[in-house]
Homo-oligomer: A and B are copies of this chain.
């Protein structure tokens, strides 16, 4: 059995440091004095590049540290106290944020989802039922919609689907918020037809994930219509989401949006995932479902999972049946082809 350091690690996409260009820029800028709280020149430059990449010259751009923090700050800023947030039942805010949304006082209203996705019709049906209920004024009101692109299952909304969601949301005065923690892996994926500019046009708030996409940490929040959320800076401060040395976030996103790096940073992850998927298909593995981005979900026997885990790290997701389990391999911007080869060899060894 290998030690953790010897094992290749497919547990998630935040197992490594940062893209080398980021490290390089941190070194170069280390001794320069700047003002704090995101008012420095690096943040200014990064904002300008992100606005350009989103084709949205007036967008407000804020830099936050992590995903849960971004979600709770945005949601508590958008909702009125009597409102809840509509969310796929599998959404990150509903499952793995330790009640962060509720801790800000708001109900999460879970909608039936299909491998992480909800569709416009589900929302419409929910709204008809809600306002058709004679007691609707005794219930938490739908106040916004939360989705993620790609979803927690690595699936993607098509442009057509996103347009439909956007239409339903705006017809019903519901802000549409997109959690883009892994957005780079969507942008690098052949199947994807949703651009940053589409997100800026169709949503009210979305964030461009850094933590899982090549940064040490950090998320860039885009609010296409400026002042759409009043006093967002103060909300960030209140929620502990305002970095004193904001420059550290500005520097990272300035690098990520230099020469379109962010648009391409996920490509090797997708290529590695595709290579692995092809091999697994050729070798008749059971996919839990088809995920086009950097996450692969397999149904395997418990004994196989246990044996493989001696030499490889990956995620154990959920029990499938008595003796089978769902496991996940995640590739990242830093996954080398050699890791995939090594993983395949490890699996081949077990299959012998």
Contact pick for A239, options B17, B231, B240, B244, CB 8 Å: B240
Q: How far is the CB of A84 from chain B (nearest CB, A)?
A: 6
Does A82 lie within 8 Å of B16, measured CB to CB? no
Q: How far is the CB of A182 from chain B (nearest CB, A)?
A: 12
A-B contact pairs, 27 of them (CB 8 A): A5-B32, A5-B41, A9-B35, A11-B35, A14-B36, A17-B32, A17-B248, A18-B30, A23-B27, A35-B313, A65-B65, A69-B240, A71-B240, A76-B81, A80-B231, A97-B237, A98-B139, A99-B105, A100-B237, A100-B240, A103-B105, A137-B234, A138-B234, A138-B237, A140-B234, A140-B238, A239-B240
Interface residues of A (CB under 8 A from B): 4-5, 8-9, 11-12, 14-18, 20, 23, 26-27, 29-36, 41, 65-73, 76-77, 80-82, 84, 95-100, 102-108, 132-135, 137-141, 211-212, 216-217, 230-231, 233-235, 237-245, 247-248, 313, 315-316, 318-319, 334
Does A69 lie within 8 Å of B33, measured CB to CB? no
**Nearest chain B residue, comparing its CB with the CB of A247:** B17
CA distance A241 to B66 in the complex (A): 8
In the complex, the 6 A-B pairs of residues with the closest C-beta atoms, listed nearest first? A69-B240, A99-B140, A17-B30, A98-B238, A9-B33, A98-B237
Q: How far is the CB of A204 from chain B (nearest CB, A)?
A: 17
**Dominant secondary structure at the A interface:** loop
Does B82 lie within 8 Å of A235, measured CB to CB? yes
Contact pick for A81, options B103, B241, B313, CB 8 Å: B103
Q: A106-B99, A230-B80 in contact; A216/B245 too (CB < 8 A)?
A: yes
Does A233 lie within 8 Å of B137, measured CB to CB? yes
Does A137 lie within 8 Å of B30, measured CB to CB? no
**Nearest chain B residue, comparing its CB with the CB of A140:** B99
Does A234 lie within 8 Å of B98, measured CB to CB? yes
CA distance A265 to B284 in the complex (A): 58
